[in-house]
Amino acid sequence: MYLADRRSASSSAASPVERPPGPDRRPGRRAVAAVPSTVLVLGTVSLITDISSEMVTAVLPLYLVAELGLSPLGFGVLDGLYNGVSALVRLVGGRLSDRGRGGGHKAVAVVGYGLSALCKPLLLMVHSLPLIGAVLAVDRTGKGLRTAPRDAMISLAAEPATRGRAFGVHRAMDTAGALCGPLVAFVLLRVAAEGYDAVFTVSFCVAVLGVVVLLLFVPGRAARAAERTPAAERTTPAESTTVAERTAVAESTAVAESTTVAEGTTVAEETAERDPAGPRMPVRALLGRPEVRRLTGCAVLLGLTTISDSFLYLTLQRRLDLPGGWFPLLPLGTAAVFLLLAVPLGAIADRIGRRRLFLAGHLALLCAYGLLLAPLSGGAALVCAVLALHGSFYAATDGVLAAATADAVPEHVRGSGLAVVQTGQTAARFLCSLAFGAAWTAWGDHTAILAAAIGLALAAAVSARLLRRVGASSPLNSPPEQAS
């Protein structure tokens, strides 16, 4: 992080200014190479925080069963309620974070990270299921609260042209932390048998470190990439015309080129909206924007057919009759692929268009469903293929959706916009879990997966249409250099 900080904001901001104007300009490797320090710091904070939270997640079942002697069955009863509250908090958090002219993002994120940190010592103090459930709910609330403002800060710090990659870097760091957490917990339990108190205490210390890094090294008011790059990146009206004249070219380039046109509009729009007494944009007004509405619609539509990880692993295990010892390893497979592919796929999203990759990611998920349905008996190879597709799905959609949202939402309501899209997606996935469970009960797992696959194919087809229309009229779907 020390190194990250040294790569100060000004150096990465310098490159776009040096770009030659015109549609053929190339942003130069420097802009691509340098991930903004704020993104690296936020990635570090996420990495540290995920180590902390996954340490607890890894030992929690054992702690409840072996140490407290509790029967954790029926623990998920309140999950629905917690999910609902978490969704509301997320929206409110996103909304609040847009106040304070950029400083709000950091403040809300600090509260979110802080809340989760405080839950760790609380876990040591409560010994009953309802109270432990409540602490976990607060922990999750903290996560809900911080996600949108954090993503807003990433999107504001990153160059619009390399936003996908910036989110990829962040998600990769985040996942690396998630993979390390259980290992740290394991080492602690090895040093101190049954030392759950040590695990929770160390987890707390790690979480506090994350908050301190956030407080110290993330600028309170994000130096916006857009503000740092005035004339050169903004397209002049004259240029817009030339570009506009060529909009009849092949679909892919058309999307990219029109990007530059619409950018001018957005700037004007944003300046208008950022007038001194400028109105803050409530959720309804945000959804009034066609691009936001369509993106949210697609995220919800696709979310409604995205079955939860647990169901996917459960189906995988049942269909392939995996040995029991494999089961705990399945999430690691997904995470490892996510970690490996987050950055490259983020960069690809920047080149071919974030919405396109977001859709492609869901096709990977569709292929995973297909493998679960196919009468194959590949054993280990099939498991690896499903997990690789599942991990690619996350790498192609998680950070990429945030980047695509950032394209559609003006800066001063970035937090709210991200919160709206993410909440829509989360709520849809939760509904999908309920529906999938019901379908399983009624028809069995094979038919339930088949229904999910058909639903996903339809949702992807509708989304492709919706997003294409957005693409034609929205800014920054892909970087300007792709126009050539």
Partner 1 sequence: MSRPPLSRTARLLILLATVLVLGGVAVGATLYAAGRAAQKDRTQTGGPAVTPGAVRLDDPHHTLFRNMAWGPHRDEITAVPTDRLSGPRTASGVRCLRFYQASGTGICLQAVHGKLRDTYRAIVLDNHLHELRHYDLAGTPTRARVSPSGRTAAWTVFVSGDSYAGTAFSTRTSLVDTRTWHLDANLESYALAVDGHPVHAADINVWGVTFADDTHFYATAATAGKTYLVRGDRIAKTLRALHTNVECPSLSPDGTHIAYKKRVQGADPDAPWRLYVLDLRTLRESATGEHRNVDDQAVWRDDHTLVYSLPGNYGSDLWTVPADGTGTPRRLTTAALAPAFQH
Instruction: Tell which residue, 348, 457, 365, has the closest CA to residue 399.
Output: 348
Any contact of residue 434 with partner 1 (CB under 8 A)? no
Any contact of residue 10 with partner 1 (CB under 8 A)? no
Any contact of residue 436 with partner 1 (CB under 8 A)? yes
Q: Residue count at the site for partner 1 (CB under 8 A)?
A: 81
**Closest CB 115 distance from partner 1, rounded Å:** 13
Q: How far apart are the C-alpha atoms of 477 and 62, rounded to whole Å?
A: 46
Comparing CB distances to partner 1, the nearer of 130 and 230 is: 130
Using the contact rule CB under 8 A, the part of the chain among 39-47, 91-99, 324-332, 406-414 near partner 1 is: 324-332
**Closest CB 75 distance from partner 1, rounded Å:** 5
181 near 54, Cβ under 8 Å? Answer: yes
332 near 326, Cβ under 8 Å? Answer: no
Q: How far apart are the first and last CA of the chain?
A: 37
**Closest CB 166 distance from partner 1, rounded Å:** 22
Any contact of residue 404 with partner 1 (CB under 8 A)? no
Any contact of residue 238 with partner 1 (CB under 8 A)? no
The single residue among 3, 10, 20, 74 that binds partner 1, judged by CB under 8 A, is 74
Q: How far apart are the C-alpha atoms of 445 and 159, rounded to whole Å?
A: 44
Residues 13-32 that bind partner 1 (CB under 8 A): none
CB atoms near residue 293 (< 10 Å): 16
Any contact of residue 150 with partner 1 (CB under 8 A)? no
What are the φ and ψ backbone dihedral angles of 304, each rounded to 5 degrees? -65, -15
Any contact of residue 66 with partner 1 (CB under 8 A)? yes
Q: How far apart are the C-alpha atoms of 257 and 253, rounded to whole Å?
A: 6
Instruction: Tell which residue, 218, 203, 27, has the closest CA to residue 116.
Output: 203
Instruction: List CB contacts of 308: < 8 A, sequence separation 6 or more.
Output: 429, 432, 433, 436
Using the contact rule CB under 8 A, the part of the chain among 194-202, 345-353, 402-410, 411-419 near partner 1 is: 194-202
Q: How far apart are the C-alpha atoms of 302 and 455, rounded to whole Å?
A: 9
Any contact of residue 216 with partner 1 (CB under 8 A)? yes
Any contact of residue 33 with partner 1 (CB under 8 A)? no
Residues 287-316 that bind partner 1 (CB under 8 A): 308-311, 313-314
Residue type, 71: S
Any contact of residue 109 with partner 1 (CB under 8 A)? no
Any contact of residue 378 with partner 1 (CB under 8 A)? no
Helices (H), 98-162: 103-125, 129-157
Any contact of residue 285 with partner 1 (CB under 8 A)? no
**Closest CB 289 distance from partner 1, rounded Å:** 28
